[in-house]
């Protein structure tokens, strides 16, 4: 079974600075998807960015980018020019492309605090 | 509505009672998922529907948990003989199966408290 590990329970960053959140995963599959979700206090999970494993190019979405290292099974999220609205729980998630399973496997999350 | 909705937002019940949690997916989304998020944890998968049928129910913890989606739209998660350990936020998500990356759109969740 796949597992996702987020080793940083909490992180903090100064407004306008850059922060990197870590994520590692374990799988024997070669094709899969990886995601970063943001969960503010409202509880609603919001997709931040996704990466397809067969694509070597790192995904970017405005101020958000990833560093995908397939051999190391690492998928870190970089937030540039941090804003107060970025404060939230961030979850890394894995989704298999095999066996018809559509489920997401989540890490335990990292709480990000943005200091003004 | 534009997004996934869940009712009720909060539910308090007593140990041993029966509860139903409702999820209204985004219109046209064929896939629907239930997750459970305990305090301080990431969401854990419970069950996945493709249309009316449960395609994967491997995450249901025991036979007290059951979910239905009779018309391929609204889904109800049913919990019998609730236990204090069932207290958690129950999240629902839906996706348009043919969309790239099968992005799952989440609702705001139902916070269940079992006293």
pLDDT in tens, B36-59: 999 999 999 999 999 999 989 999
Per residue in B64-74, pLDDT (tens digit) is: 999 999 998 99
Predicted pLDDT at B23: 98
By the 10 Å C-beta count (0-12 exposed, 13-18 middle, 19+ buried), A19 is classed as: buried
Cβ atoms of residues B26 and B3 within 8 Å: yes
Structure tokens at B97: 């199966």
Per residue in A68-85, pLDDT (tens digit) is: 999 999 999 999 999 999
Which B residues, 55 through 114, put their C-beta within 8 Å of a C-beta on chain A? 55-56, 59, 89, 91, 93, 95, 97, 101-109, 111
Predicted pLDDT at A102: 78
Q: DSSP string covering A8-23, please? A: -SEEEEETTS-EEE--
Q: How far is A35 from chain B (nearest CA, A)?
A: 9
Closest CB from A4, A45, A50 relative to B91: A45
Q: What is the largest CA-CA distance in chain A?
A: 46
Structure tokens at B88: 């958690």
């Amino acid at each position: 079974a796949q597992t996702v590990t987020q080793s940083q329970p909490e992180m903090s960053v100064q407004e306008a600075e850059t922060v990197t959140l870590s994520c590692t995963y374990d799988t024997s599959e070669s094709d899969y998807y990886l995601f970063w979700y943001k969960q503010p206090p409202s509880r609603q999970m919001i997709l931040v960015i996704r990466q397809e494993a067969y694509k070597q190019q790192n995904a970017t979405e405005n101020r958000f980018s990833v560093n995908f290292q397939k051999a190391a099974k690492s998928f870190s999220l970089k937030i540039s020019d941090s804003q107060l609205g970025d404060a939230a729980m961030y979850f890394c998630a894995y989704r298999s492309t095999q066996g018809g399973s559509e489920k997401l496997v989540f890490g335990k999350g990292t709480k990000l605090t943005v200091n003004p | 509505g534009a997004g996934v909705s869940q009712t009720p937002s909060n539910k308090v019940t007593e140990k041993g009672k029966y509860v139903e949690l409702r999820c209204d997916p985004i219109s046209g989304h064929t896939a629907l998922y239930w997750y459970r998020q305990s305090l301080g944890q990431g969401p854990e998968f419970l069950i996945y529907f493709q249309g009316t049928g449960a395609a994967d129910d491997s995450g249901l913890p025991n036979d007290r948990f059951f979910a239905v989606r009779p018309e391929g739209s609204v889904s109800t998660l049913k919990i019998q003989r609730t236990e204090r350990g069932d207290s958690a936020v129950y999240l629902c998500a839906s996706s348009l199966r043919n969309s790239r990356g099968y992005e799952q759109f989440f609702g705001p969740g139902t916070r269940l408290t079992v006293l």
